[in-house]
Amino acid sequence: MKIIIVNSDHGQTRSLTLGGWTRALLSVCLLGIPTALGAWGYSWLVNFDKKDALTDIPSFSVTEQKDKLEKSRKQTENQMAALTAKVAELQARLVRLDAVGERLTKVAKLDKGEFNFSQPPGVGGPLADSLSDNINAAEFMVNMNQLAQRVQNREQQFKALDSILISSSYEAEALFDMLPVENGYMSSTFGYRTDPFNGKQEFHSGIDFTAPMGSVITAVAPGVVTLSVATNDYGNIVEVNHGSGFETRYAHNKINLVKVGDVVKKGQIIALLGSTGRSTAPHVHFEVYKNGRVVDPATYLHLTNR
């Protein structure tokens, strides 16, 4: 290969003759350098895109993890709220069971050492050889529901026993052999009468006994107070369950002196006579229910007009 070099004024020329190795080296320089620069540029662009892609991936993963953690936190809070409500419900039921138990020990005249509902019972046992894995929230809720069902069953058993004991106590004493007030007189009988407010024939579901304001009202038989509240028609009213399907009501009271759940004895003061509710003057409205139906109290009190 021969190269001719001409100066700027074309006055002189010079020629160079290149051998085989020289020609190869020159070809490599002329062709290899641009190729290498192109390859390096392409590699730089690819790596730059990869860096951008890698930079975006962690950001997406962190956001997704935050969302999952927030969802899990809310689910845990909801489960804890449900468990708290269930525990509160069971605690309330157990308090009622303790109250019923205390009442049964009094009615049955059991020795205080036999059943002490104010103290937790003693429990214990040997340590198991192997401990089970921690239960999850779902299993815990199942156990709680089973415990609630057992508490409900126990409540029903207590109520049945309570009714039996009250009935036994009832048989030991004369039923309805006294009036709800002393020094009073019967001012209105059971059945249809002329209503004192509208003058129409209306059904009167009890017997009225008139007495001075503030006279004591007593339970005509032993039982458990199932209602003690103020109403529009009855005024202040007390209801006592005597067992064997019998209930008595004492209405228009000036003030009630007992509360729901109280155990009352025959002749115990339960209210003061008044004229609350739909009443024209101080008196007690006395009702008797048998198996849920109102009946004439005179049948059980053996009354004539007094």
AA letter at 168 = S
- The pTM assigned to this predicted structure is 0.46
User: Hey, how many other C-beta atoms are within 10 angstroms of the C-beta on 148?
Assistant: 14
Summarised one tens digit per residue, pLDDT across range 201-256 is 889 999 999 999 999 999 999 999 999 999 999 999 999 999 888 999 999 999 99
185-301 fold: Glucose Permease (Domain IIA) (2.70.70)
Task: Extract the tokens encoding 78.
Answer: 């909801």
Task: Extract the tokens encoding 227.
Answer: 């209602």
Instruction: Give me the residues of the chain with pLDDT under 50, please.
Output: 54, 125, 128, 130-132, 172-174, 304-306
Separation between Cα atoms, residue 205 and residue 28, nearest integer Å: 123
pLDDT at 302: 60
The residue ranges of every structural domain in the chain are 78-112+138-172, 185-301
pLDDT at 173: 47
Cα distances from 132 to residues 31, 128, 135, 144, 186, in angstroms, run 76, 10, 8, 18, 71
- Closest by CA position to 107, among listed 175, 173, 155, 152: 173
Measured in Å, how far apart are the chain's first and last C-alpha atoms? 154
Give the mean pLDDT of the chain.
Answer: 75
- Is residue 285 helix, strand or coil? strand
